[in-house]
A = this chain, B = another copy of it.
Amino acid sequence: MPRAGLDPAAVTAAAAGLADEVGLANVTMGLVAERLGVRTPSLYKHVASQADLNRRIAALALVEVGDKLRDAMQGRAGRDALAAAAHTLRSYVVEHPGRYSATLPLNPQGPDDPIAIGGARVLESLAAVLAGYDIDPADTVHAMRLLRSLFHGFATIEAAGGFEMDTDVDKSFEWLIDFIDRGLKN
């Protein structure tokens, strides 16, 4: 019998896909193995543990979202950049709720942890958004935290089905972008 030809990336990708489909909490090692056409213990040749797998999913999500953010913001500034970043982030979380939720327990184990690297890239994009506004350098870190908290919170609540009357969530999101844009212009 030929081999399955797996590697850590393939296992991570399968797990991430499952996470989006059934929720991160329901991603079992057995389910991942089944998806890959392999027996459960075989996974341990590629990932150290389920915790390790979750960390890899988180890193994958951060890299993906970082890439999308960078792409979406090419050549944009000010309100345009803000809107692009916001929509990109929101779309990603809605499309990939499982992988995104893996990023919540942020425990980078060091500066070269893929999670830290991916996270830093996301933060770079947020910093790029702020660069389009005239902000007191002393307030930049505060503004970064504002964006991060707001987008993360909104996306998380939406992904969890936390908003009633789903109909005008889009409108709320636009309103919210506008609110931030006006505020950042002082």
Q: How far is the CA of A160 from the CA of B183 in the complex (A)?
A: 27
Please give the count of copies of this chain that the complex contains: 2
Is A176 in the interface zone, CB < 8 Å from B?
yes
Q: How far is the CA of A47 from the CA of B169 in the complex (A)?
A: 35
How large, as a class, is the contact surface on chain A?
Answer: 20 to 34
A128-175 at interface with B (beta carbon < 8 Å): 139, 141-142, 145-146, 148-154, 156-157, 160-163, 165, 168-169, 171-172, 175
The answer to whether B153 and A154 touch across the interface, beta carbons within 8 angstroms, is yes
Is A6 in the interface zone, CB < 8 Å from B?
no
Interface segment, A33-41, A75-83, A103-111? A103-111
Name the B residues within 8 Å of A45 (CB-CB).
none
Q: List 5 A-B contacts (CB under 8 A).
A: A106-B162, A107-B161, A146-B179, A149-B176, A152-B156
